[in-house]
Amino acid sequence: MCATCGCDANASSSIRQIGETHPHPHDHDHTHDHSHSKTIIEVEKDVLYENNLLAQRNRGYFEARNVLALNLVSSPGSGKTSLLERTLTDLKDHFTCYVIEGDQQTSRDADRIHATGTRVAQINTGKGCHLDAHMILHAVQGMKPAENSILFIENVGNLVCPAMFDLGEKERVVIISVTEGDDKPIKYPDMFHTSTLCIINKIDLLPYVPFSMDKVKEYARQVNPGLSFLEVSCTSGEGLSAWYQWLKEKVQEPEHV
């Protein structure tokens, strides 16, 4: 039971390696050694403490194998899968990439990624509303990403709960689309506070919606003064070269080589 957001993510989550002929079911339970007299806050601490330990284990694995792990977070429909489809197609000659897809149900996003020729695992969280480090550990064990590769993790579309769960990623990338409104950073500050890059997507729709680029950046800087921004359209391709340049620089960072 995830006491931080009330979902029962671990009890019903399942991981499938898309494209494999023999999917491996994920049906074991977690044990929690806390007494019933503890307060909710203590339980929450336990859940996040356990998650953070596993996240550090994932991080150590990624660092040892020089895998650049990126956690893509956003509200539903901001364009995470669209960004990945373009990126994986455009950069397939430059990097070896892997994708972990997180959704409550279906393998629709994993199927879209599989169509680009990229190795992908789908995690269905059932009633859960976020990925956690334990799910990533299992997906990575099945996937075994090659050294010097990039692992994109598309989190469940949700601007709240995924902010609390470290997956062991190197960077967290928050995507917001112009159709969502420019006030999201101050309404959902944790997600913007814990991210290092903010991608503002669907700029092709700017002529049709009331959205201020200046305001969204001002609000985001209020919760995270160090946040970087990229403006893109996954439909037209505008701005994507700057995203690709950001990825290349991250791959080449001293601690990553």
Ligand X SMILES: Nc1nc2c(ncn2[C@@H]2O[C@H](COP(=O)(O)OP(=O)(O)OP(=O)(O)O)[C@@H](O)[C@H]2O)c(=O)[nH]1
CB of 98 to ligand X, least distance (A): 17
Among the residue ranges 49-57, 73-81, 136-144, 215-223, the one whose residues contact Mg ion (CB under 5 A): 73-81
Instruction: Tokens for 49, please give them.
Output: 């403490």
| C-beta of 111 vs 190, nearer to Mg ion | 111
List residues binding ligand X (CB under 6 A).
74, 76-82, 109, 157, 201-202, 204-205, 233-235
3-class secondary structure per residue, 107-118: CHHHHHHHCCCC
Q: Counting contacts by CB under 5 A, is residue 202 touching Mg ion?
A: no
**What x/- string results for residues 96 through 115 when contact with Mg ion is judged by CB under 5 A?**
-------------x------
Residues 220 and 250: their CA atoms lie apart, in Å, by 22
Q: Which amino acid is at 96?
A: T
Interhelix angle 240-252/80-90, rounded to 10 degrees, is 70
Shortest reach from residue 231's CB to ligand X, in Å: 10
**Which one, of 82, 68, 74, lies nearest residue 251 by Cα?**
68
Decide if residue 80 touches Mg ion (CB under 5 A). yes
- What is the CA angle 160-188-72, rounded to 5? 55
Residue 170 found at the interface with Mg ion (CB under 5 A): no
CB of 45 to Mg ion, least distance (A): 31
End-to-end CA distance of the chain, in Å? 39
Chain contacts with Mg ion (rule: CB under 5 A): 80-81, 109
